[in-house]
Amino acid sequence: MQETQQTKPESGSPQPAKLQRRFIAWLLDRAVLLPLTIGLLYSIIDMKSLPFAIMMMLGEAAYKPIMEALYGHTLGKKWMKIQVVTQKGFGPISWNQSLLRFVPWAAVFYATVFVIIRHFQAEGFMEIDSWPAYIEFGREHPLGENILIAMVNYLPLFSIMWVMSDPTRRALHDRLAGTIVVSY
């Protein structure tokens, strides 16, 4: 009860960003990251290079926490005029807060690296020649229906669902980091 009182924005403070603006910012960030996603697919399907695939995934993973720690926003958030600030005082976030906000995506990153390493080791992987074939290969792979991997992959969605029930529209990762996404 006391936490709810502390989380409500004071009059004159920045307004929490609307879910639609955050979603559009996420879509814009996906567009920014599209070359890395294409590079990842190319490294898996055409090059068959695990080191290059991991490098592409590291680039994608590093984008959000680095941009938010340095600037308070990603490019998508900047274009949507929203930013991540501390919950108390509405100041710039720290590197620790940025990394705490990234926890759900970090879990997905580690699970994805694990799965891709296992794909590279699996029989029949080297014969894959298209992304539909890779998707089918992934489904048939023993990790394709692993409940733990599936649960980890849904962590960001679970975190974001909190936005709908929080009075200041904070996701679970915002609560964990003591941050809030505001419009400016």
Which is nearest to 169 in space by CA: 180, 155, 153, 157? 180
Q: What is the DSSP letter of 85?
A: E
Q: Tell me the C-alpha to C-alpha distance, in Å, between residue 62 and each of 83, 95, 111, 166.
A: 18, 12, 16, 27
d(CA 78, CA 183): 10
Q: pLDDT digit string (tens) for 53-63?
A: 999 999 999 99
Q: What is the largest CA-CA distance in the chain?
A: 61
Q: pLDDT digit string (tens) for 116-139?
A: 999 999 999 999 999 999 999 999
Between 123 and 7, the higher pLDDT residue:
123
End-to-end Cα distance, the chain: 28
- The runs of H, that is alpha helices, within 43-146 are 50-71, 75-79, 95-101, 103-121, 131-140
Q: What is the DSSP letter of 164?
A: G
Residue 132 burial (10 A CB sphere; 0-12, 13-18, 19+)? exposed
Q: How many CB atoms lie within 10 A of CB 112?
A: 19
pLDDT value at 1 more than 90: no
Residue 90's pLDDT band (cuts 50, 70, 90):
very high
